[in-house]
């Protein structure tokens, strides 16, 4: 089968590997058809690491797959060969304290596609636990299925923010995760959503998804604008989705007293910069968003019912043979890219 492996910084090679064997008990063999390109893939591509997770051997990246069931292992009853499916890339142990408490995303033994040393989804075939595979209804395309992982992060972030109908929200950073968070906040009943980003086409996408106002921090003082728009009160929940050095601090400045800040973005230098007194004097609640949990069925229902328009966010499509071009496009923010996908 064809796979794309990362050998070093900006060194992705499409090559052949043996096909996986037959699925075991509780597993399925999947033919992957669409895989999204995530910012974390680009982190590994441009830096060879995310924090202390370092690529030390050739690694297949990719963790946003959809595909078709090829074969079932013994004991699999909720799927059939030929089913179109979305694929949760995280396989938790199910037995540790975090898993037992309902937090599989925090499992210390979790195996996550495309995270060293676990190979990911930029390959044609994979064997995966059936419990992590979700059938797609006719209303949901495989391309939309591949976007469910990103949308799931947005849903999880909004869950962490304990969003209630009528709340005001800020989303700082409108890449795919930020836009999905904005969409999830609107679906959760946010009355006002203020968005920020450096790229004009992302701000336009934010407006199309329902942002009340969208600001470019190179042109406007976004803290001043958001505070003015809320009559100085600030927002109930501020989501940091840029991974920039300055945006966590901006979140604490635009959050109201007693508000919540949810940190989603991954900074390049793996550090968090905050003025302690700002967060302390406001009595803010700070939460870290670690991937997602238990969101696929809900996300699928929202897309199937037309509540979550994910398809328009895909702006670029590449074959597997050109996966390096997809990474370069996303890494350099070229050509109005919002979401790029690889068609296998």
For residue 315, report the phi and psi dihedrals to the nearest 5 degrees: -110, -20
CB atoms within 10 A of CB 20: 16
3-class DSSP string for the chain = CEEEEEEECCEEEEEECCCCCCCCCCEEEEEEEEEECCHHHHHHHHHCEECCEECCCCEECCCCEEEEEEEECCCCCCCCCCCEEEECCEECCCCCHHHHCCCHHHCCCCEECCCCCCCCCCECEEEEEHHHEEECCCCCCHHHHHHHHHHHHHHHHHHHCCCCCCCEEEEECCCHHHHHHHHHHHHCCCCEEEEECCCHHHHHHHHHCCCCEEECCCCCCHHHHHHHHCCCCCEEEEEECCCCCCHHHHHHHHEEEEEEEEECCCCCCCCCCCCHHHHHHHCCEEEECCCCCCCHHHHHHHHHCCCCCCHHHEEEEEEHHHHHHHHHHHHCCCCCCCEEEEEC
Give me the percent of the chain exceeding a pLDDT of 90. Answer: 98
Q: Is the pLDDT score of 121 beyond 90?
A: yes
What does pTM read for this prediction? Answer: 0.95
Parallel, antiparallel, or unpaired: how do β-strands 27-36 and 125-129 relate? Answer: antiparallel
Closest to 150 in 3D by CA, of 228, 64, 77, 210: 64
47-51, 189-193, 330-334: least confident range:
47-51
Which CATH number is correct for 2-149+292-343, 3.90.180.10, 3.30.70.100, 3.40.50.1000, 1.10.260.40? 3.90.180.10
pLDDT at 72: 98
Exposure string for 237-257, b = 16+ CB within 10 A, e = fewer: bbbbbbbbeebbbbbbbbbbe
pLDDT at 33: 98
Q: Please give the average per-residue pLDDT across 118-137, as a whole number.
A: 98
Mean pLDDT of the chain: 97
Half-sphere exposure (Cβ direction) of 125: Cα atoms closer than 13 Å:
14
At the second CATH level, the architecture of 152-288 is 3-Layer(aba) Sandwich (3.40)
**Residue 65 pairs with which residues in a beta bridge?**
35
Q: Is the pLDDT score of 337 beyond 90?
A: yes
135 neighbors 84 (Cβ within 8 angstroms): yes
179 alpha carbon, distance to own chain's centre:
10
Span 16-47, pLDDT tens digits: 999 999 999 999 999 999 999 999 999 999 99
Parallel, antiparallel, or unpaired: how do β-strands 49-50 and 111-112 relate? Answer: unpaired
Span 298-316, pLDDT tens digits: 999 999 999 999 999 999 9
Domain ranges for the chain, please list them. 2-149+292-343, 152-288
């Amino acid at each position: 089968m064809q796979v794309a492996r990362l050998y070093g910084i900006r060194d992705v090679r499409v090559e052949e590997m043996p096909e996986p064997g037959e699925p075991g008990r509780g597993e399925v063999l999947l033919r992957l058809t669409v895989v999204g390109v995530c910012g974390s893939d680009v982190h590994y591509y441009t830096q060879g690491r995310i924090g202390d997770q370092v690529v030390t051997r050739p690694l297949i990246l990719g963790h946003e797959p959809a595909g078709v069931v090829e074969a079932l292992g013994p004991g699999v009853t909720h799927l059939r060969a030929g089913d179109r499916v979305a694929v949760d890339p995280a396989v938790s142990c199910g037995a540790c304290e975090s898993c037992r408490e309902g937090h599989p995303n925090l499992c210390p033994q979790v195996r996550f596609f495309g995270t060293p040393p676990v190979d990911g989804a930029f390959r044609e075939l994979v064997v995966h636990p059936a419990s992590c595979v979700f059938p797609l209804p006719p209303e949901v395309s495989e391309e939309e299925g591949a976007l469910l992982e990103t949308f799931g992060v947005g849903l999880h972030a909004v869950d962490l923010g304990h969003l209630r109908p009528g709340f005001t929200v800020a989303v700082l950073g409108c890449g795919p995760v930020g836009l999905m968070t904005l969409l999830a906040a609107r679906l959760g009943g946010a009355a006002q959503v203020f968005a920020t980003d450096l790229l004009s086409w992302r701000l336009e996408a934010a407006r199309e998804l329902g942002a009340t106002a969208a600001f470019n921090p190179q042109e406007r003082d976004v803290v001043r604008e958001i505070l003015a728009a809320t009559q100085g009160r600030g927002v109930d929940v501020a989501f940091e989705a840029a991974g920039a050095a300055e945006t966590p601090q901006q979140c604490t400045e635009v959050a109201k007293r007693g508000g919540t800040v949810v940190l989603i973005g991954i900074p390049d230098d793996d550090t968090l910069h905050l003025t302690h007194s700002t967060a302390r004097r406001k009595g803010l609640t700070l939460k870290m968003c670690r991937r997602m949990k238990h969101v696929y069925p809900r996300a699928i229902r929202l897309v199937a019912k037309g509540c979550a328009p994910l398809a328009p966010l895909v702006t670029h499509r590449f074959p597997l043979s050109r996966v390096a071009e997809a990474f370069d496009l996303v890494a350099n923010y070229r050509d109005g890219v919002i979401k790029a996908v690889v068609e296998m």
